[in-house]
């Protein structure tokens, strides 16, 4: 399983609530049409969890997006599609900053 994980921060002129509303109501439906996309998850920040024994990384984000694909090839095909280009174009209207990672998932729990 290949995933793209993105940390998202809203544009400065938007409130967190406006960001979330656009992300859910306008942006999310565009993902349905992206070819070879297996799963799309929006993680909405409820609270920050800290640990007293580890220094906190200072980063302000409004949400985390995960896109799941069966393979790197599927991800490349999907990202080159007109549907993904429309998704990205919409993202540029409400996402102020983004940091994205392509990862290979290693499942630890549950045990195989």
Can you list the domains of the chain with their CATH numbers?
Answer: 2-47+60-104 (3.30.70.100)
Q: Which of 31, 96, 20, 29 is nearest to 68 (CA)?
A: 31
Going along the chain, which residue ranges are E strands? 2-10, 39-44, 63-69, 95-104
* pLDDT of res. 26: 98
* pLDDT of res. 59: 87
pTM, full prediction: 0.90
The per-type count for the chain, helices as H runs and strands as E runs, is 4, 4
pLDDT in tens, 8-21: 999 999 999 999 99
Is-cis flag, bond preceding 55, omega within 30? no
Cα 87–Cα 41–Cα 96 angle in degrees, nearest 5: 50
* pLDDT of res. 107: 86
* pLDDT of res. 6: 98
* pLDDT of res. 105: 85
Let me know: does 100 contact 13? Beta carbons within 8 Å. no
Ranges under pLDDT 50 in the chain:
none
């Amino acid at each position: 399983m290949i995933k793209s994980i993105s940390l998202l921060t809203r544009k400065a002129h938007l409130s967190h609530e406006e960001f979330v509303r656009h992300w859910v109501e306008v942006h999310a439906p565009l993902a349905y049409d992206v070819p070879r996309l297996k799963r799309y998850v929006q993680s909405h920040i409820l609270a920050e969890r800290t640990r007293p024994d580890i220094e906190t990384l200072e980063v302000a984000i409004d949400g985390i997006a995960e896109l799941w694909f069966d393979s790197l090839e599927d991800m490349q095909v999907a990202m080159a599609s007109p549907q993904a280009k429309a998704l990205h174009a919409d993202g540029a209207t409400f996402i102020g900053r983004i940091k994205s990672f392509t990862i290979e998932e290693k499942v630890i729990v549950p045990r195989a």
